[in-house]
Amino acid sequence: MCADVTGPSGGAHREWLVADGAGGFATGTASGLRTRRYHGLLVVPGPDGRRMGLASLDAAVTIGGGTPVQLSAHEWGSGVVSPSGFRHLELFEVVDGLPRWRWRIGDVVLERELAMSHGHTGVGVVHRLVSAPGPVRVTLTALCTWRDAHGNRTAGGADPVQTRVANGAVVDDGYRISGPGWRARGEWWHDAYLREEAFRGLDPVEDLWCAGTFTSTLEPGGVMEVSAWAGDLRHQPAPATDVVAAARRRARSVVSKAKPKDDVDATLALAADAFIIRGPDVVAGYPWFDCWMRDTLASYEGLFLRTGRAVEGAALLRRFAASPALVADLAQGASEAPLWLVHAVDRHVAATGDGHLGAELAAPLDNILAGYAADDAPFAARLDPSDGLLALRPSDGAATWMNVRTAAGVPVTPRDGKPVDVNALWVNALAGLAKLTERAGQDARALWAGHDAAQRSFTKRFVAPSGWLYDVVDAQPAAYPLGGGPHLDDPVLRPNQLFAYALPHAPLDGADPSAVRAVSRALLTPLGLRTLAPTEYGYQGRHAGAEPARGEAYHQGTAWPWLIGVYVDACRAVGVATDGLLRGLEAHLSEHGVGSVSEVVDGDAPYRASGCPFSARSVAELIRARASLRAKP
């Protein structure tokens, strides 16, 4: 079921995204083919998760008294792609962060563009007849559902409740669609096939509810507008043309605020904007991730400080720092999340000079870090008083960013003991917080004492005879496939050691470049860093297929674009060349998630993109890496 879906501007592998700033979004492919269960024009956020609403708005044009020409595309369970409207697709482009399609049928040219109302969940879809020898009839068929965005819905269940309202319908009391010439239908279209879900080993078939059609006859230059929205269903939103115009104005403001140095900077500023939602908070990735503290704070500098959004960022930092219970809860599965919080505040104060924020948050942050040493420590990592480092128990062996577990709950990449990245962040956080405390006029001697002890232990314990750093020291050998002594020090070659050189208060800042060079030789790809060297036991170079295969590969060789930021900083710290380093990622901006950066790519050539097509950490760290390379040494 791999019908060729191509066009002059791309195909089913290139995806677009429009976010509403409230957690909802619209997304699909350049060709118009729905390949994921998440593809739709209205995905609605809610307290129980996102829901898929308007799945598709299929366009057809009728010229004179001829046969309608279908411009949409669907793949079916039979393997047939029909209709194949992408054959008429002359152009797909993203302008001001908004997608635009242009179809040509002889002398008839029709364009579509869409936008979402920022801060509200609603989409406006505009069709414009650019040119034609005479009037053209445009028909838009609304294919609907109302389901969990992570699932499918079939005709085997109840039919959607479709309520007639002015100019359209309300579907399952969840959302409303409205436009000209509405004619209700109400029938199932069976066996829509979603090839990406099949590739991921998930159920690839769903049924779609044909709610009805909108119809309008357009003269050249004429416009047809359709809206879909959730929330207050009684009131009509702004016309779709106004929604598109407002979105363009806002996009230009976002770019202007970021002060881009070039077009890539401008593209990345808009990419960053998609992840920031009201709260403020950060969506870790589209189309299936939610807001996660670790990802939010690891992305902080790139998303907020490098895009002119420090005021919003300060509000986010205050919210986390004022909620130690929330931090403790989130850090149960993310041992380093509180350390990223301290790092984010430290970077915010360094970038903005906002000493007031640093003074305000120093004491709350101190209380949060004290949780690592508490008798009833609320975090997955615990302070070892014998050496001042943080340790994970075997039961918490997946509580770092390498966090995948098998169906039986066993860590795929066990890192119990003292992981190198967690402890580099710990040393960095102690120094950062000590400086914030001193700026607030308070006594930081205890923090500095803890920092000095941890740094001495780090230098003593993590440097391995192999020429790079241990990934974990004092591990439990039973969790490792090759066994070991009673206190295993794991010399596996992974990128986690880069934090020891790259952080602003890194424990090995300015050290011997041997480890960074080893990482360069074994882990660097054009689109990020592998999570495991190809020569190591358990390496998997492709992130594909059903679980557990994808989970097993996730941190066992799969390359992650977000690691390019820490790699750049580590190279700069030890004097390793970075010429041409970002060219692959900059080219990638037009290849998969258009205008954005993927979550992961295969560790093996040709480095096929996988995971979420739109990743907050990947975008944030590419922004930060570009800025770092432009800065003076």
Q: pLDDT by residue (tens digit) across 461-510? A: 999 999 999 999 998 755 444 444 456 899 999 999 999 999 999 999 77
Query: What pLDDT score does 8 carry?
Result: 36
Sign of the torsion formed by the C-alpha atoms of 79, 80, 82 and 86: positive
Is-contact 32 55, C-beta < 8 A? no
Cα-flanking dihedrals φ and ψ of residue 431, to 5°?
A: -70, -45
Round the average pLDDT of the chain to a whole number and report it: 93
In single-letter form, the type of residue at position 50 comes to R
Instruction: Quote the pTM value.
Output: 0.95
Query: What pLDDT score does 367 carry?
Result: 92
- Eight-class DSSP state of 469: B
Domain with CATH 1.50.10.10 in the chain: 259-630
Q: Is 552's pLDDT higher than 60?
A: yes
Are β-strands 223-229 and 122-131 bridged in parallel, bridged antiparallel, or unpaired?
A: antiparallel
Beta bridge partners of 619: none
Beta bridge partners of 101: 92, 112
Alpha helices in 440-528 (DSSP H): 445-462, 499-502, 514-523
CA 497 to chain centre: 24
Q: Among all chains, which residue has been given the structure tokens 């790259």?
A: 502
Which CATH code of 1.50.10.10, 3.40.50.2000, 3.40.50.920, 3.30.1440.10 fits the domain covering 259-630? 1.50.10.10
Domain with CATH 2.70.98 in the chain: 15-250
**Domain 15-250 grouped into CATH 1.20.120:** no
Task: Tell how many helices (H) and how many strands (E) occur in the chain.
Answer: 17, 32
The predicted-structure confidence for 154-176, as pLDDT tens digits, reads as follows 999 999 999 999 999 999 999 99
Nearest to 495 by CA among 444, 547, 546, 565: 565
In single-letter form, the type of residue at position 322 comes to A
Ranges assigned E (strand) in 267-337: 276-277, 281-282, 285-286
Ranges assigned E (strand) in 15-171: 15-19, 25-29, 40-44, 51-63, 69-70, 73-75, 81-84, 89-95, 98-105, 108-116, 122-131, 136-148, 162-165, 168-171
Average pLDDT over residues 137-153: 97
Average pLDDT over residues 539-557: 91
Q: Is 124's pLDDT higher than 60?
A: yes
Q: Is 629's pLDDT higher than 80?
A: yes
Encoded tokens for 271: 């990419």
Is-contact 194 205, C-beta < 8 A? yes
Query: What pLDDT score does 505 carry?
Result: 97
d(CA 571, CA 516): 7
Greater confidence (39 vs 379) lies with 39
Sign of the torsion formed by the C-alpha atoms of 277, 279, 285 and 288: negative
Rg of the chain on CA atoms, in Å? 26
Q: Is 113's pLDDT higher than 70?
A: yes
Q: Give the pLDDT band of residue 16 (cuts 50, 70, 90).
A: very high
Q: Is 1's pLDDT higher than 70?
A: no
d(CA 527, CA 536): 20
Greater confidence (407 vs 261) lies with 261
In single-letter form, the type of residue at position 349 comes to V
- Eight-class DSSP state of 7: -
Average pLDDT over residues 423-442: 97
Greater confidence (65 vs 96) lies with 96
Query: What pLDDT score does 485 carry?
Result: 45
Residue 115 gets the label, from left (phi > 0), alpha (psi -120 to 50) or beta, of beta
